[in-house]
Amino acid sequence: MSTVAMPDLAVVSSPWTLGPLHLSNRVVMGSMHTGLEVHDDGGAGMAAFYRERAAGGAACIITGGIAVNDEARGGPDFAVFGVGGADERFRTAVDAVHEEGSTILAQLFHAGRYALASGMVDRHGEPQRVLAPSALPWAAARGVVPAEMTADDIERTIEDFAAAARSARDIGFDGVEIMASEGYLINQFQSPLTNLRDDEWGGDAERRRRFTVEVVRAVRAAVPDLAVTIRLSGADLMPGSSTDADVDALVHDLLPLGLDGISVGIGWHESRTPTVQAAVPHGAWLSYASRIAGVVRDSAHPDVKVIASNRMTDLRDGETVLQDGLLDAVALARPFLADPAIVNRSLAGAFDLVNTCIGCNQACLDRSIIGQPVSCLVNPRAAREVAFPARPTASPKRVDVVGGGPAGLAAAVDAARRGHTVTLWEASDELGGQFGLAALVPGKEDYAATVRSARAELDQRGATINLGRPATADDLTGSDAVVLAPGVVPRAVDIPGAALPHVRSYERALREGVPAGTVAIIGGGGIGVDTAAFLVESPDEAHRATEFAARWDLDVSEAVVGDVPQRLPAATRTLRPGTDVTVLRRSGKFGQGVGITSRWVAIGRLRDAGVHMVGGVQEYLRIEPGVLWIRDEVGEEHAIPADNVVVCAGQERAIDTEGDAPDGLVTRLQDAGVPFAVVGGARDARSVDAVRATSEALEAVRRLAP
């Protein structure tokens, strides 16, 4: 646990009211779609998921979106009240939250044209309809064109919102949140891009606002005794969509209707402005929430609460945001995946123990949009709490973990939490492995927080950590369970000239920097893209925030930017123009291996910086001083300027002191009869990613040491 004096979190920790609800702190767990909503488990998965966050200090929890009717579903893993046992599942989850002394609101949801309905059927076995204000598809709809809603469709949908609110009340929810942000149906009615109607529901800004107004009016009338909030789009980030004035006018229309709170969202899913990726500066969108709060405070209904959200990962950020009294609370979503106890730990001053969300999206958003089970890279138990309960072990064992990268740390922390005696062996002088390298890349500094929190928790729980000490079979033969996670090392290339002094691996480049001059990067996957970003982007988050605001013509808040530590001494960061950097790739997409919601951002940043991207390399011919010779896809030779060459050609299993890891140890452990498992890159370096590695580590340590 940190020994640093706890910053004053007086505002974040202070009680407040949200309509009829009396809440103990000002941290709301924002809505996250997990897929647990439709699990045929009687609600056990949802209950365990929400219970752990409620017990961890979330004063108010917002569920993932609950579709108000069949066509409102965003995909097959969206629940509808009254269908397929949904009510019973949600009742179980609500009871769990209440048992922990917290509150929970049901988010009422309609996807509109964002419904990915291809192949889906409704409760009657008929193909699911897709409805929208106008018959305009979006890129991810797989050719499905929504039907324009008739007047009857609109009136029925408004009543469906009200009916869903009544169902939420009957189930036991403390309130409802109306989803009117992120480009879903209600937001679609507000925008001139997606509402081309010329009737009472469209044609000018006032008529485009009517659907939102009528939904709120109907929901408020349906549940006069519950808290009612709305998730409103502070800015659509779509050229030609609603203006700030349009949004402010909508807020004025809604305030007299009895709303208890407004949660401010940002951006549409199809927007080309990054909103939630690690590259987005911390707290970038706070100015939009503050603007709306100003509208509320200057109105006849100044007591309506305004909740800020997006790209806040630390309660100290929340304290900064709330101190002037304009905003009432902060909503954190993904940080509750990373650490269910983020509130309790922070309020106790144990910031070193908080497992920070790194904004990677790989196990959460990336999975959600394709209907796969949601979890968390840095907390692989997330949304799997039933399969991996947190209770202490009944049979403590000696558990040895070889490797202090993300997989090894995940195994060691889980075993230590459950009461096993843990020894961690790391051959290098520091923990972190590939996460330690990632933390050196601009925008990925938060990766260091996972390493920091794991070290703090292992120390707190009495684990033994051996740094600079490769494990030998003799060290491990007395163990009850061994997790082999020595990780990966950069793969060398067999190219004439690869041994020249100006050629270095990506690991050396990230740790030591790269001398001035042109750079050719061999390999354009995720590591190559990260290395290019390291070379051309500032390590100073405040500087990057200024560039981000200018690039996207945004009003980016400065409230919490600049709180990310600079991981490398300035002397090692010789930034160069993007035109000095060339990234080369044989085949496939640049940035392959980066998550689907982040790849386009990473590639776009490099293109904006002027980095050369050369694909279709048939052969790397030779490396000479100042030049890399290649043969292109049509067989012609080209000289690529290269005062420095950085090799990002993949990875291979790390080597330990007894042979190719983990083969040397494997043989000795097998001979000694020691239970063991090989996980992550040590098991298979060809397709390794950190999501797979941490998940395998958790599964292995639970299997070996229940």
Torsion of CA 680, 682, 685, 689, to 10 degrees: 20
- pLDDT exceeds cutoff 60 at 6: no
Q: What pLDDT was estimated at residue 653?
A: 87
Q: Do 485 and 498 reside in the same domain of the chain? A: no
Can you read off the two tokens belonging to residue 240?
């030609």
Distance CA 62, CA 229 (A): 10
Domain final residue pick, 359, 379, 412: 359
- Domain assignment of residue 585, yes or no: yes
Q: Report yes or no: 108 and 219 within 8 Å, Cβ to Cβ.
A: yes
- pLDDT exceeds cutoff 70 at 477: yes
- Domain assignment of residue 313, yes or no: yes
Q: Do 168 and 314 reside in the same domain of the chain? A: yes
Q: Which of 260, 189, 174, 178 is nearest to 215 (CA)?
A: 178
pLDDT tens across 574-595, in order?
Answer: 678 888 999 999 999 999 889 9
Q: What is the CATH number of the domain that holds 279?
A: 3.20.20.70
Q: Report yes or no: 187 and 236 within 8 Å, Cβ to Cβ.
A: yes
CA angle 317, 104, 40 (to 5 degrees): 115
Q: What pLDDT was estimated at residue 563?
A: 62
Q: Do 134 and 207 reside in the same domain of the chain? A: yes
Q: Do 54 and 203 reside in the same domain of the chain? A: yes
Q: What pLDDT was estimated at residue 659?
A: 47
Q: What is the mean pLDDT of the chain?
A: 93
Q: What pLDDT was estimated at residue 2?
A: 34
Q: Which domain holds residue 327?
A: 16-359
- Domain assignment of residue 376, yes or no: no
Given pLDDT bands bounded at 50, 70 and 90, which one contains residue 144?
confident
- Domain assignment of residue 307, yes or no: yes
- Domain assignment of residue 226, yes or no: yes
Q: Do 210 and 291 reside in the same domain of the chain? A: yes
Distance CA 349, CA 667 (A): 46
Q: Do 306 and 408 reside in the same domain of the chain? A: no
Torsion of CA 685, 686, 691, 694, to 10 degrees: -20
- Domain assignment of residue 322, yes or no: yes
Q: Which contacts (CB < 8 Å, 24+ apart) does range 326-329 have? A: 326/290, 326/293, 326/294, 326/297, 327/286, 327/289, 327/290, 327/293, 328/16, 328/26, 328/261, 328/293, 329/16, 329/18, 329/23, 329/26, 329/27, 329/28, 329/305
Q: How far is CA 687 from the centre of its chain?
A: 21
- Domain assignment of residue 570, yes or no: no
**DSSP element (H, E) containing 286:** helix 286-297
Q: What pLDDT was estimated at residue 578?
A: 84
DSSP label at 238?
A: -
Given pLDDT bands bounded at 50, 70 and 90, which one contains residue 658?
very low
Q: Do 133 and 261 reside in the same domain of the chain? A: yes
Q: What is the CATH number of the domain that holds 514?
A: 3.50.50.60
Q: Do 587 and 474 reside in the same domain of the chain? A: no
Give start and end residues of each alpha helix (H) in 563-675.
Answer: 599-609, 663-672
Structurally, the chain folds into a number of domains equal to 3
Please indicate whether residue 184 is annotated as part of the active site.
Answer: yes
Q: What pLDDT was estimated at residue 522?
A: 98
Give start and end residues of each alpha helix (H) in 56-176.
Answer: 86-99, 151-171
Phi, psi of 508 (to 5 degrees): -65, -40
Q: What pLDDT was estimated at residue 565?
A: 63
Q: In this structure, which amino acid lies at residue 470?
A: P
Q: What pLDDT was estimated at residue 188?
A: 98
Q: Do 122 and 164 reside in the same domain of the chain? A: yes
- pLDDT exceeds cutoff 90 at 619: yes
Share of residues in the chain with pLDDT > 70 (%)? 96
CA angle 481, 487, 492 (to 5 degrees): 150
Q: Do 468 and 517 reside in the same domain of the chain? A: no
What separation in angstroms does the CA of 52 have from each of 283, 342, 392, 447, 697? 26, 11, 15, 23, 21
Query: What is the number of other CB atoms lying within 10 angstroms of the CB of residue 466?
Result: 16
- Domain assignment of residue 125, yes or no: yes
Q: Do 158 and 243 reside in the same domain of the chain? A: yes
Q: Do 641 and 667 reside in the same domain of the chain? A: no
Per residue, the 3-state secondary structure of 367-436, as one string, reads HHCCCCCCCCCCCCCCCCCCCCCCCCCCCCCEEEEECCCHHHHHHHHHHHHCCCEEEEEECCCCCCCHHH
Least confident of 67-76, 139-148, 254-263, 436-445: 139-148
Query: What is the number of other CB atoms lying within 10 angstroms of the CB of residue 469?
Result: 14
Distance CA 177, CA 414 (A): 35
Distance CA 671, CA 647 (A): 38
Mean pLDDT of 276-284: 91
Domain final residue pick, 605, 624, 649: 649
Q: What pLDDT was estimated at residue 686?
A: 77
Distance CA 505, CA 622 (A): 16
Least confident of 81-90, 573-582, 646-655: 573-582
Per the model's pLDDT, the better-predicted residue between 656 and 636 turns out to be 636
Q: In this structure, which amino acid lies at residue 502?
A: H
Side-chain half-sphere CA neighbours of 236 within 13 A = 23
Domain final residue pick, 359, 379, 414: 359
- pLDDT exceeds cutoff 60 at 657: no
The single residue of 114, 184, 288, 620 carrying the catalytic annotation is: 184
Q: What is the CATH number of the domain that holds 430?
A: 3.40.50.720
- pLDDT exceeds cutoff 50 at 77: yes
- pLDDT exceeds cutoff 80 at 656: no
Name 640's Cβ contacts closer than 8 Å, sequence gap at least 6.
520, 582, 584, 614, 627, 628, 629, 630
The pTM assigned to this predicted structure is: 0.94
